[in-house]
Structure 1
Amino acid sequence: MGSREVIDLQGMRVTVAGLGVSGIPAAKVLHARGAHVTVVNDGDDARAREQAAELEALGVTVRLGDGATLPEGTELVVTAPGWKPDKPLFMAARAAGVEIWGDVELAWRLRGPDAAPWLAITGTNGKTTTTQMLASILKAAGLRTAAVGNIGVSVLDAVLGDEQYDVLAVELSSYQLHWAPSVRAHSAAVLNLAPDHLDWHGSMEVYAADKGRVYEGNRVACVYNVADKATEDLVREADVEEGCRAIGFTLGTPGPSQLGVVEGILVDRAFVEDRHKNAQELAEVSDVNPPAPHNVANALAAAALARAFGVPARAVRDGLRDFTPDAHRIAHVADVGGVAYVDDSKATNTHAAEASLAAYESIVWIAGGLAKGATFDELVAKSAKRLRGVVLIGQDRALIREALARHAPEVPVVDLDRTDTGAMLAAVQEASRLAVAGDTVLLAPACASMDMFANYNKRGDAFAEAVRELGS
């Protein structure tokens, strides 16, 4: 990767905000490069003390239970992406003229002169799947690559590790983009925009602007969703390099400079000679797993970024065929009594749930959890005609129940007044009573899981276990 550093950290006083998956690697990297590192953390539990001891053994200073105070003499703050911008620590840093970076910004600044270019992906939903699809396509083209970023593999590890890459598929959350002002991708995509994390960003406008940062300085292509005008607006507002093109993806017939679908074929009218007359076949819809509409859109976005990087059409097809989606993303668990049981626990917001609900004709919907400030009227109104029945669980289920009363009053609703983990078994049993042969019982909660479960994976596991009990 080369050893050039854009910033000399030797002797610099750096404060790292937050232990955890990004804070600890950042602290280690900064310390190894000669910085005087102090880690501050709000929590002071057994896990935090264990992590602190590991860092203190290296010579890093750790302050537990005090994430609000800016250590004296701080010259740079590196933050975990989830820390909100209005925290007192950051207000103090800004008042003192101290820059605040996330771990993604740190990775970008420490890249060597021969570093692999980034193909970046953001959006409210579909980021992880699209990033994994893109990596699969790039591998099928014989390129050395990895899916990194918000996907669970640290960008810092990828950039500073020994592995040599030709190109990186980088998933970036709105949080990460907020704290990464100088990242400049080869090409980037915003898959979609819907209200999410508004409690963190403060408004939809700020959330969209943070997502739009992914387009800044793009060299080859800004990929947008033709069906989501807000993504195209972000492209128009972006300051890109001369010659960078706007490339749309659509589930309909593509126009010039777009990728789309024609009679079950994914086609490219963007990266071909004479795009006004010609189109290149890339793959069949049946090559996409699963071929639900929103997942075909993900595949088109991944294909657009790969084609922007010069990948041949055959690699798009082979990469999509090789791709296996993660668990808890529209995962078919079992058929019991002619009813399909599908786990989409990853649908943690209304936009994701809407895409999931659109994939099936007749649904018994299991929903509820932590709403994170979301409203459910639009989701229920769009999905009402597909609902055989609804089973509600979780802390904020009343918000969904009220939307159902307004927009789908004829749909039977079972309101389980429970937030214990055993509620999932009861929910699946209730759903099985509402369902008839040919229906799909769909866990697409439209809410976060932390009121009942450690994460959406545990919620999905509980659903799958309950389905297995049903079929035993």
Structure 2
Amino acid sequence: MGSQEVSTVDWQGKHVTVAGLGVSGIPAARALHERGAIVTVVNDSDDERARAQAAELEALGITVRLGDGATLPPSTELVVTAPGWQPDKPLFLAAAEAGVDIWGDVELAWRLRGTNGREAAPWLAVTGTNGKTTTVRMLASILEAAGLRTAAVGNIGVSLLDAVLGEQEYDVLAVELSSYQLHWAPSLRAHSAAVLNLAPDHLDWHGSMEAYAADKGRVYEGNTVACVYNAADPATEELVREADVEEGCRAIGFTLGTPGPSQLGVVDGILVDRAFVANRQKQAQELAEVSDVNPPAPHNIANALAAAALARAFGVEPAAVRDGLRAFRPDAHRIEHVADIGEVAYVDDSKATNTHATEASLAAYDSIVWIAGGLAKGATFDELVTGAAKRLRGVVLMGADRALIREALTRHAPEVPVVDLDRTDTGAMSEAVEHAARLARPGDTVLLAPACASMDMFTNYNKRGEAFADAVRAHAEKSA
């Protein structure tokens, strides 16, 4: 199916099972019901929230089965699943055995685009282990600066179904896609797509690194104009080589160094394009300055180059790349500068919930007091500590799995002072900041980049970041 072709499915009377209530399941059930499908929603939980959601759907005439997400309803002709449901669930095994197709919310949105009387907007898709949300939001900012009607959608929080079926008309969509979503999206064909990086993540869901990478690589299938890869991450280029793309689709690399032909990169503090120019062997087009990227940390410059590559693949002019990057403001808790106190910077990167993200965060500063720890999710920390050891002024550890980081520090950075907070209550953050402030010297950065999930102490990484910012502000008042 080509990128601009629209799928036509006769939904009237088709028996569809929707797996999971929630941000994707409820819109899917509604959209299918409106098109005449006979919809049954199955859900594992049967709590108060699920019962309230079920009542709303049942009022429309949709069948909801709570507390039993394992059994395939009789007569099911198609399963539409929420992205988080694991592939080895009995429901999916039964569907596969019965020869029933399984689609995710992205696949459904792809199939329904253009069915509401509006022209189907092409998709510029972004995936990767880290940096997806920032890159997609940068891309949307650039597209807006070019005067295009666009939105950042997908795994970023705005439902793709709402985007393709709503009243708003779009020229192009900037789409964030997780490995879960790509796993269940067999016919997705983007205009252009980028895989930002690959590092072990969600292996419990995918089963292996190879399966995880293969699902990420699906984003390149059927691309029509550009497959954007990270020149510093050969695995992403290999996924491009393996992809079955439309004739004429190009491999476009991005690099923090000087770009070769068909790449975007950095020369003397300038983001330049040697891919979408008339003579890429000899010419480069200036796009923006490194200082136009907020914040100008190395990994964030890489995000900006990937966003620029996708925008340029769509025909966006260089000035719009610059203006879009200047207008972009990062989400909270992503390398967010909180305060300067006594010539020490305090930075919140609570979103760095794995080692890959934390490695990028630590690389952005020269001298760091590092606050880390939480739920390790099976991660190991030797490589992370080895790479960062020379930058560490000191380390403050907290959280359930802090011992794993402490052991890596003992092995690879034994001279770095470590404060180990033997507590997992939320108040530990205030103590962590006080210890970090004592370790810091003028010119240092106190960096919250936990390399771990937050749920041992906080509801989510946002709450952890807010606790850090509150603790920093309290410290500033004491120091005033």
In the alignment, the residues of structure 2 paired with residue 174 and residue 315 of structure 1 have an alpha-carbon distance, to the nearest angstrom, of 30
Deviations 1:137-160 (A, max 9, x none): 111111111110011001110001
Partner of 2:153: 148
Partner of 2:342: 337
Partner of 2:445: 440
Partner of 2:10: 8
Secondary structure in 1 matching 2:472: helix
Residue type of the partner of 1:139? E
Does 2:39 align with 1:34?
A: no
Which of 221, 225, 230 in structure 2 is aligned with 1:216? 221
Does the aligned pair in 1 maintain the 2:6–2:120 contact within 8 Å?
A: no
Which of 131, 135, 151 in structure 2 is aligned with 1:126? 131
| TM-score (ref. length: structure 1) | 0.97
Which of 200, 205, 226 in structure 2 is aligned with 1:195? 200
Partner of 2:108: 106
Residue type of the partner of 1:158? A
Residue type of the partner of 2:144? K
Does 2:24 align with 1:22?
A: yes
Secondary structure in 2 matching 1:55: helix
In the alignment, the residues of structure 2 paired with residue 285 and residue 108 of structure 1 have an alpha-carbon distance, to the nearest angstrom, of 35
Runs of 4+ in 1 over 3 A off after TM superposition: 2-5
Does 2:399 align with 1:397?
A: no
Partner of 1:160: 165
Question: 225-234 or 41-50, which moves further after superposition?
Answer: 41-50
Partner of 1:72: 74
In the alignment, the residues of structure 2 paired with residue 99 and residue 301 of structure 1 have an alpha-carbon distance, to the nearest angstrom, of 33
Q: CA deviation at 1:4?
A: 6.8
Does the aligned pair in 2 maintain the 1:121–1:171 contact within 8 Å?
A: yes
In the alignment, the residues of structure 2 paired with residue 220 and residue 360 of structure 1 have an alpha-carbon distance, to the nearest angstrom, of 36
In the alignment, the residues of structure 2 paired with residue 445 and residue 213 of structure 1 have an alpha-carbon distance, to the nearest angstrom, of 30
In the alignment, the residues of structure 2 paired with residue 419 and residue 432 of structure 1 have an alpha-carbon distance, to the nearest angstrom, of 20
Q: CA deviation at 1:34?
A: 1.4
Which of 349, 365, 371 in structure 1 is aligned with 2:376? 371
Which of 362, 366, 369 in structure 2 is aligned with 1:361? 366
In the alignment, the residues of structure 2 paired with residue 349 and residue 67 of structure 1 have an alpha-carbon distance, to the nearest angstrom, of 30
Partner of 2:64: 62
Secondary structure in 1 matching 2:193: strand
Against the structure 1 CA distance between its residues 227 and 459, is the aligned structure 2 distance closer, same or farther, given a 3 Å change threshold?
A: same
Task: For structure 2, list consecutive stretches of 5 or more residues without a partner in the other structure.
Answer: none
In the alignment, the residues of structure 2 paired with residue 43 and residue 72 of structure 1 have an alpha-carbon distance, to the nearest angstrom, of 21
In the alignment, the residues of structure 2 paired with residue 3 and residue 269 of structure 1 have an alpha-carbon distance, to the nearest angstrom, of 31
In the alignment, the residues of structure 2 paired with residue 391 and residue 87 of structure 1 have an alpha-carbon distance, to the nearest angstrom, of 40
Q: CA deviation at 1:429?
A: 1.9
Does the aligned pair in 1 maintain the 2:6–2:111 contact within 8 Å?
A: no
Question: 1:313-328 residue pairs with structure 2 within 5 A?
Answer: 313-328=318-333
Which of 74, 90, 93 in structure 2 is aligned with 1:91? 93
In the alignment, the residues of structure 2 paired with residue 224 and residue 5 of structure 1 have an alpha-carbon distance, to the nearest angstrom, of 28
Q: CA RMSD in A?
A: 1.4
Q: CA deviation at 1:426?
A: 2.0
| TM-score (ref. length: structure 2) | 0.96
Does the aligned pair in 2 maintain the 1:198–1:373 contact within 8 Å?
A: no
Secondary structure in 1 matching 2:149: coil
Partner of 2:48: 46
In the alignment, the residues of structure 2 paired with residue 374 and residue 156 of structure 1 have an alpha-carbon distance, to the nearest angstrom, of 34
Q: CA deviation at 1:175?
A: 0.7
Say how many residue pairs are matched.
Answer: 471
Secondary structure in 2 matching 1:450: coil
Q: CA deviation at 1:341?
A: 0.9
Deviations 1:386-416 (A, max 9, x none): 1111112222222212211111111122222
Residue type of the partner of 2:449? A
Q: CA deviation at 1:451?
A: 2.0
Q: CA deviation at 1:3?
A: 13
